[in-house]
Amino acid sequence: MKCDEAMRRLLEHDNAPGYPLPLRLHLRRCAHCRAEEARLRAALEELKAVALSPRDMDISDAVMAGIERLESYRRDVPMYNWIGGGLAILGGIVLISFSDSFAWLRGSFGGDFEVPLSIVLGIVITLYASAFIATHLDMAESWMAKRRG
Ligand SMILES: [Zn+2]
């Protein structure tokens, strides 16, 4: 189970004994979700402890301040996944010329087949590099700032 799925299931349940087994297993091995679950449980306990009277109902400032204190919840793809994906694409580009399917296609279409294939592979590696750069803009920005001195 991934973290976003765990968060979705966590929000569906309001008590720990009712958690399904996959969620309990995820919480056991994932420190981030375990901390989030503890925060949710603490917030629920605070809500139970506070008796709201009608004149106290304007809590929007307190809620907005609480939201601003929360750290953002985003999915981080580990760097080794990016490197593994890039190596898989590069390996595919190198190894495709040795494959039987490529030999068969070359036999069927002749040398004209290699130009469109090179264009497609170039687009694939360009899209991959664009996605990597777009998701690591903050890292690139600090690297550029370091280079400028
Ligand atoms: Zn998790």
Tens of pLDDT along 18-53? Answer: 788 988 999 999 999 999 999 988 888 888 887 666
Ligand 1 center from residue 123 Cα (angstroms): 34
Ligand 1 center from residue 69 Cα (angstroms): 20
The answer, yes or no, to whether residue 55 has pLDDT greater than 80, is no
pTM of full prediction above 0.75: no
Q: Which domain holds residue 48?
A: 3-69
The tally of domains found in the chain comes to 2
How many CA atoms lie less than 13 Å away from 105 in the CB half-sphere? 13
**Amino acid identity, position 44:** L
Q: What separation in angstroms does the CA of 116 have from each of 98, 108, 109, 146? A: 17, 14, 11, 40
Ligand 1 center from residue 72 Cα (angstroms): 14
The pLDDT value recorded for residue 74 is 66
Residues 97 and 53 in one domain: no
Considering the domain boundaries, does residue 74 fall inside one?
no
What residues have their beta carbon closer than 5 A to ion ligand 1?
A: 3, 6, 30, 33
The pLDDT value recorded for residue 149 is 77
Tens of pLDDT along 58-110? Answer: 778 888 888 888 876 666 788 899 999 999 999 988 898 888 888 888 888 87
